[in-house]
Every structure is written in C-alpha cells, then in structure tokens.
Structure 1
C-alpha cells in the first residue's frame, strides 16, 4: 500500500528543518520540542556581540499553523527579555510575522512588509537577530534599563541555562559567525525525512563557511 499523504505544511516543515540542520543560521540552535510534532520548534539564540545581549543564551518557541506557509507562525521568547519590540509575554513584534491583512495594530505597515508564503524560518531568525542588533529605544524600555532590570541582568540570568545545556555561548564576532551542524543524539529526525519521497530532497554538498554572517538577502525586512 502507498504511504499516507503528508499535509503540505508538514512536508514543508520537514524540508526546512533539514535545511536548517545542514546549513544553520549563525547563532541559533534549532530542535523540535517533541520529535513527533513538527509544528512546535524550540530555538536557542546567542546574543549578538557588541550589543546589550552579548553572551546571552535566549530560548524561544516557534509554533506553526496547519496552513503554513500561507499563514505565519508565532515566535515567543521563553527567556525573559527586555527589548522595545518584545512584549512582556515574550511575543515578538516583527512585520513579517503579521498576517497580510488589514490590521488596526499594524502601525502603517505595507502589505509587502508582512508575511507571505515566500518567507520561512530562516528569514524569521535573521529578522530576530536584526531586532536584537538594532533595538529602537522607547521611554519605558529606557526606564527599565536605568532601574537595573535591563540587558545586563537578562544576559547574566541565562548563563546557568547555557551551562545546563552544555552550550558555550560565543562572545566574539569571529565565534558568532561560525556555522556548525546541530548535534543529533539519535536518528529520530532522520526518520522524519525518510517519510518523504526520495525525489523530494536533493542531497547537496555542504556550502563553505561564510565569514560575513550578516550577508543574507532575506534579512532586509523591517521591524514594526
């Protein structure tokens, strides 16, 4: 008998996960929250050097809708963050995560700045890094920093989590830009890919390391 057909979103997520594990985005570690659930991902983010978040180890969840990539996923930090574009509940305010519909909360965004099916996890991750690199200070955010509850305390609080996960957080630009494959403790992820037909995945040689980790055409989206 033929294998059951996979939902288009599940097939798309399998391919994206495989791509990100073989050619990672610098300063991110990607895993599934549960190996049997492709719609919930855990992301560990290394704070960019020369920013308030340098040396930090921040965790987040990406939750995908069943009609992905036609609707955007949600991106929520689990680590407490102090940032003008990150809400207290951890939700991130980035234009490409907003649905391409009229929204009174859009702040004048153009439809072209919002989500569309050509976006993917890689463009989201690059947008998050851009957000951490170039925060837009707001009065309340500056007040929090001045009261001692800002970026420095946030980074310090994440060091124990990094040690628990056995992760060495990069603190220099050279370390930050190194691409490394995500280690795998078992072959459960490989089993997910085996569910795809062989002709759906083209095996490619791993690309050479790119010394400029900000050189990516997908990172030019504006944040709201």
Structure 2
C-alpha cells in the first residue's frame, strides 16, 4: 500500500511541478531542493506590491508526505518572518494545511482545512493572502499577533509591527539579489502573464520572464518518477517533527 501511495504522490507532484514551470503563477516560484527528490521543494514567495511585504523574497521549504495529495505538505520559512501565523522556528500555521478533522477549539471548520482537491498553487496563493491578512484567532506567534492588532487598530499610527516587517522585507530582498533573483517591485512585474509556448520553429523565439532564470530544461518527468522510487521507503518523518499546526 505504501508503495502504491508513493507512486501516486510522485505522479501528482511531477504533474504539478511541470505545470508550475510551464505556467508560472504570480507571487511565487518553485524549484526542487534536489533534482532527484520530488518530495521536497524550495519556494520563493514575493511580497505583493502596496503591502508591508513589498520587495521581499521570502524563502520556504515545502515537504510532501508519501500519500500526497491525501495528506497535506508542511511549510517552513527559511527567511525570518515576524508574523502571527509563523512559529519562531519558521513553521507555518495555516488552516489549509491542517488535516480535515472536527476540532471546535481550533476555531476552524473542517471545510477550511486540507482536502485532496488542493494543490501547490492554491496553497501558496493562500500563504500570500495570509501574509497581509493574518489569522489572529489562533496565533502561532502571540507577540506578533498582539503587535499586529495594535498596528491594525491604530490604523498604522503604531509603527512597531510595520517597521519590523519592512526591515525584514528589505533584508530578504538584499539576500535575494545576492543570489541573482530578480524581485518584482511593481504591479506590472508582479502580475506575470501566463505564456503559451509557440510551435517549434527556427523563426519563432519563445517568450521568457523572470521566473525562468533558475530552472534547467527538463521535460523527462518519467525519470523523476523512477528516481523517486529509490527513496520512497525512507522514513521522512525524522526531520518533520513540526508541521506548523497550532
């Protein structure tokens, strides 16, 4: 059964990864941590324009279980993020990544939690939305939650929360630029247009955008699937002790 689940997860992840290379989504980009491992992705989340996070490039690690998409992945920020829904160790606490159980004390409805129809696109778009609109009812970082509410209720007059976020965004941008990553600063750059590859022709030039810089051309996902079976039986829970659940 475990091998069957792993095989299904590999197929699902291969399809999603290929789709995100061919049709990138505004606000983030993804790449594999290791080309031989489809179960661990590195994510760069760009701060949306006209928000406190504008100009920031926040790196995170996504780890997928062997029964994905029946169970949710986990997300841990590698970049320091002061946020009500991010633990001190970087683990993200968001409803969409919580198992669909009935837990009245959490304040979450089962329909707000994970279900197999979700995918990487919907997850990361939810994360981007959460950055600007934190959930303060069940915070992972109580101090950040109190500070955010104070900033919100004062309509921005209390600058403590805002100053911390802007400082982190600037530091994240500087690190990204050192790594050769172009961070979108305008709405035009941020809202990329999905492009369709033209038919092969010597006279046609394929359109590119800033999402394409760091990726190698690799259309042979069958190789990824076979390679993934080599580590399918390994215990992936050893370093996933925190799944970001509150």
Count matched residues.
193
- CA shift in 2, pair 1:91/1:14, >3 Å: same
TM-score (norm 1): 0.76
Deviation larger for 140-149 or 28-37: 140-149
Q: CA deviation at 1:66?
A: 0.3
TM-score (norm 2): 0.70
In 2, Cα distance between the equivalents of 1:158 and 1:102? 37
Aligned position for 1:139: 146
Aligned position for 1:118: 117
Partner residue of 1:191 out of 220, 228, 232: 220
In 1, Cα distance between the equivalents of 2:27 and 2:56? 11
Aligned position for 1:154: 168
Give yes or no for the alignment of 1:14 onto 2:14: yes
CA RMSD of aligned residues (A): 2.8
Give yes or no for the alignment of 1:182 onto 2:182: no
Aligned position for 1:73: 73
In 2, Cα distance between the equivalents of 1:35 and 1:195? 8
Which protein has the bigger helix share?
Answer: 2
Partner residue of 1:168 out of 178, 182, 185: 182
Q: CA deviation at 1:192?
A: 2.6
In 1, Cα distance between the equivalents of 2:101 and 2:162? 39
Q: CA deviation at 1:186?
A: 3.5
Q: CA deviation at 1:195?
A: 6.0
Q: CA deviation at 1:103?
A: 4.1
User: Which structure would you say has the larger Rg?
Assistant: 2
Matched ranges for 1:74-89 at <5 A:
74-89=74-89
In 2, Cα distance between the equivalents of 1:58 and 1:195? 27
In 1, Cα distance between the equivalents of 2:178 and 2:44? 13
